Amino acid sequence: MAKLIVLYKHPKDSKAFDAHYASTHAPLAKKIPGLKHYDISDGEVAGPGGATGYHLVATLTFDSLDALKAGLASPEGQAAAADLGNFADGGAELLMFDTRTL
């Protein structure tokens, strides 16, 4: 399996961010070809020491890193990527990697 982790930093307006994410961005992301599982954080994103600089964490799962890359390169993946500028004004970090079970 492969994962795409998106770390959304705190936006200027969290209510507007949340509304856009739920009504527009998540439906776009759910259309990415090859997507097997999609979840987001619920509530505060904390670290061992308390608060972090992140508002929301999204985890998207694909069968492989190649499938993930192909999904992001698709028209649906490009539409989701293009939407980031419409709501993620705090910035976002994207991490992609293969996983293995230990």
> What does the domain layout of the chain look like in residue ranges?
2-98
Query: So what's the pLDDT on residue 27?
Result: 98
pTM attached to this predicted model = 0.94
* Residue length of the chain: 102
- What is the enclosing helix (H) or strand (E) of 9? strand 2-9
**Three-state DSSP state, 92:** strand
CATH class of 2-98: alpha beta
Residues of the chain with pLDDT under 50: none
Inter-axis angle of helices 65-73 and 75-83, nearest 10: 70
- What's the pLDDT at 72? 97
Choose among 46, 51, 56: nearest CA to 22: 56
Secondary structure letter of residue 86 according to DSSP: G
The pLDDT tens digits for 46-68 are 999 999 999 999 999 999 999 99
